[in-house]
Each structure stands twice: as structure tokens, then as C-alpha cells.
Structure 1
């Protein structure tokens, strides 16, 4: 689904700890065959502690992945096309003009699960 399709509902936002989110971005990009890499726009908070993935509207209704949150944006503060991040005090890790479409929730869920397992394994090797 394109990020700024005319008349489209505002995307939902899945937030995760930055370390897990960065791993998930890498996992999705490695697995994707699409030119954009399969991952949609990604925001980071000002402190760098959290990443937010833009996903299709309605995702929040069924999102239940521990360690993450998914919220409906209802368009609050969401604006695209001017290059500025759509949420105050954030920045783009991957802007919409680079990715072109939203992240598929099923793909994101699988990547976040794999990322959590990789992080746990790495932490247990110390």
C-alpha cells in the first residue's frame, strides 16, 4: 500500500526498541526481493531508543506482539510529501520517498520475532 495514496486512511504505527527494530529492518531487507527492500517508512525517536514502522491502517486492531506496541494514528500529525517526519520529535530512518509503501504487518511480525531471538542469543553468548 503506498504511503500517501489519495483518500487512504492514515497508517498505523508499530513501535519497538531500536535494537530490535534495526535488526528487523536488516532481516526484512535481506529476505525481500522487491527493489525497495520490503520495509516501509521507519521513524526513530529523538533519543534513538525507539523505532516506529508505518503499517497499513487497521493493523492496531489485531497487533499483540509482546515487546512492541501498535497504535492508530488517525492522521493526527501525519503528513507526507514535504520530507518532514510525520510525528513531532522524530526523524526518518527510512523516509517514504525511499521506500514507497507501508511495511506488511505479517512480514514485520516475523522479522521482529527473529530479531528478538537473535538478540537473546547474542546476549547469552557474553
Structure 2
């Protein structure tokens, strides 16, 4: 299955899909040292974003979230790629400065994807291994 969307951050990333329909705040929601989601109210609490293709609707919270994403990359625990329903500035900046491939506005629902997913931030294509 291949979906197409809008390219936000260039590059190609492949990893196991980690999907949620709940927005994520990186500031206070994700540990920059470990990549673990620490927001106790989030459905993905306790899961790691490290090496995953992280799909969530949009980001929320402080602009410092961009720097948390940068910290994830510096600590080698960043997502392999990000898929958003609708990207907003905090997540876009975080992905760009961290070198995390990112797309949004897919022509289908990311919830349809499963398993290992590849995000091509150069072309906007997202594909799942069949």
C-alpha cells in the first residue's frame, strides 16, 4: 500500500509504525534522553518513539517541543520518520532541524498502515510492506 502526501522534511526513514489518534506534546510528553513517551495520560505512555515511524494527528504544546525533538536526534532515539494528519509549526521545525523525514495530508488514513513503513520526505510517499 502506498499513500501520498505533502513533504514537510526531506529524507527517507523506515521503521515499525507507531500510530495514535491522539496529539503529542514533545515538551513534557517525550523523554529526550530515552525516546519514551512519559505523558501518563497519553495512550502510548511507556512506548518508545526511537526508530519508529511515528504517526499522530498533530503536535501540541510549547515551542520548546522542537528542541526536545532535536534532543531525541542528538541522543539517537528520534523517530525514523513522522506522519501527521496536519503538520503544525512546532513539529515541522523539530523534524527539519533534527533531520527526521516527515509528511502530512496523506491521500488516505495512516491508520490503514501497519508493520514496517517507509516515509519518503523527498517525494511525499508513504509505503507499507505487504
Normalised TM-score (structure 1): 0.29
- Bigger proportion of residues as helix: 1
Larger strand percent: 2
TM-score, normalising length: structure 2 = 0.28
When Rg is computed on C-alpha atoms for both structures, the one with the higher figure is 1
